[in-house]
């Protein structure tokens, strides 16, 4: 079963309960990610300094190549796309944390 | 909906990122102590050099302890880039002052992690971090006691040799 966790204008992150993994849909492409791959992807995004990239002389053509954890895909992102990803992925993690809180309060601790 | 994230990862994202920052801090400390050891070696402070080599090893052990914990909890430990540490010092006293400063910095960082663990009810990580809290008491004590030697004795060459000889004998005991 698929659950849309978070979406932005061009992207969507979906959790699939059957596969136990996430699907990142971005601009028509779809990338399968295990939990560890999603965390690794977020770590890579966290390391990108938008402010630095914007102030850099080469900012107009700035692209970043981010290999996904399993090396099946390489994401080539422009500055705009990085900004959108920096909304999509952390947004997803906030929603997942909310889901954890709901599970903890309703499903697990039935006392 | 399954709680997939919780099934695979035992620690919250913010704590995970703080632990990874601590990995970097420990790696940085290890490099800084190595530079201090080299300086002491070059200036004939043999015991202090041994002391800082041991400290450098210890910091690396701390880094690995954190690294394994992050990995065991389902997180992704990151191998941090370590900046070149200060390698030239004006005196042995300055070396120990910087060592104490570094230990205080590490202690404060550890305290912040413990505070974050309490805020998010992460008692397992808090328990794990308590080992570091205790370790820092010892680390700060040793650096502080070494600096007390400089206050007690003058900075003349004879005194410096006496201080150097006493460095390895500093031990922290709770009793």
Q: Is it the case that residue A25 has pLDDT exceeding 70? A: yes
Q: Give yes or no for residue B21 having a pLDDT over 80.
A: yes
Measured distance CA(B97)–CA(B110) in Å, rounded: 20
Output B119 or A69, whichever has higher pLDDT: B119
Checking if the pLDDT of B76 tops 90, the result is no
**Percent helix, strand, coil in chain B (nearest 5)?**
75, 0, 25
Give the mean pLDDT of B124-153: 93
How confident is the model over B143-160, as a mean pLDDT? 85
For residue A60, the model assigns a pLDDT of 62
Mean pLDDT rounded to a whole number for chain A:
88
Cβ of residue B120 closer than 8 Å to a chain A Cβ: no
If you count residue pairs, one on A and one on B, with CB atoms under 8 Å apart, how many are there? Answer: 49
What are the φ/ψ torsions at residue B40 (nearest 5 degrees)? -60, -40
Contacts of A103 in chain B (CB under 8 A): 3, 6
CA B28 → CA B24, B69, B112, B113, distances in Å? 6, 19, 18, 18
The predicted pLDDT at position A110 comes to: 60
- CA of A101 to nearest chain B CA: how many angstroms apart? 10
Nearest C-alpha neighbor of B27 from the set B102, B136, B93, B96: B102
CB A24 within 8 A of CB A33: yes
pLDDT at B174 over 80: no
* Cα separations in angstroms, A98 against A34, A54, A95, B122, B155: 19, 32, 5, 16, 60
How far does the CA of residue A72 sit from the closest CA of chain B (Å)?
18
Are B74 and A42 within 8 A, CB to CB?
no
Statement: residue A72 has pLDDT above 90: no
In this prediction the ipTM stands at 0.80
Residue with the two structure tokens 């954190």: B66
For the segment A66-92, the average pLDDT, to the nearest whole number, is 89
The pLDDT of residue A5 is 96
- Angstrom CA distances, A90 to A7, A44, A102, B30, B63, stand at 11, 12, 18, 32, 27
The answer, yes or no, to whether residue A59 has pLDDT greater than 60, is no
> Chain A within 8 Å of B74 (Cβ-Cβ)?
yes
Would the CB atoms of B13 and A15 count as touching at under 8 Å? Answer: no
Q: How far apart are CA B75 and CA B77, in angstroms?
A: 6
Note whether B84 contacts A: Cβ–Cβ < 8 A.
no
Restricting to A residues 28-87, those with a Cβ less than 8 Å away from any Cβ of B are 35-36, 39-40, 42-43, 46
Task: Specify whether the CB–CB gap between B139 and B106 falls below 8 A.
Answer: yes
Beta bridge partners of A33: A22
pLDDT of residue A1: 86
Helix-helix angle B92-119:B13-42, to 10 degrees: 170
The whole-number average pLDDT for the span A12-19 is: 94
Q: Is the pLDDT of residue B26 over 90?
A: yes
What's residue A109's pLDDT?
66
């Amino acid at each position: 079963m698929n659950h849309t966790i978070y979406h932005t204008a061009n992207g969507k992150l979906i959790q699939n309960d059957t596969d136990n993994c996430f699907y990142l849909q971005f601009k028509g492409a779809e990338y399968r990610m295990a939990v560890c791959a999603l965390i690794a992807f977020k770590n890579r995004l966290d390391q990108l300094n938008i402010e630095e990239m914007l102030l850099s002389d080469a900012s107009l053509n700035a692209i970043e190549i981010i290999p996904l954890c399993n090396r099946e895909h390489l994401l080539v992102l422009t500055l705009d796309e990085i900004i959108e990803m920096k909304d999509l992925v952390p947004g997803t993690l906030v929603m997942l944390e909310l889901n954890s809180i709901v599970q903890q309060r309703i499903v697990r601790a039935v006392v | 909906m399954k709680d997939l994230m919780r099934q695979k990862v035992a620690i919250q994202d913010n704590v995970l990122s703080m632990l990874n920052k601590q990995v970097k801090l420990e790696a940085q400390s290890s490099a800084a102590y190595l530079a201090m050891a080299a300086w002491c070696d070059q200036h004939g402070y043999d015991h202090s050099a041994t002391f800082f080599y041991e400290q450098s090893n210890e910091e690396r052990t701390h880094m690995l302890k954190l690294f394994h914990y992050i990995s065991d909890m389902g997180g992704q430990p990151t191998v941090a880039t370590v900046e070149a540490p200060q390698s030239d010092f004006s005196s042995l006293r300055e070396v120990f002052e910087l060592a104490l400063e570094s230990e205080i910095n590490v202690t404060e960082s550890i305290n912040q992690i413990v505070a974050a663990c309490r805020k998010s009810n992460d008692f397992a990580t808090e328990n794990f971090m308590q080992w570091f809290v205790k370790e820092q008491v010892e680390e700060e004590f040793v650096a502080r006691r070494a600096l007390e030697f400089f206050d007690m004795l003058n900075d003349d060459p004879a005194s410096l040799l006496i201080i150097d000889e006493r460095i390895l004998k500093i031990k922290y005991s709770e009793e």
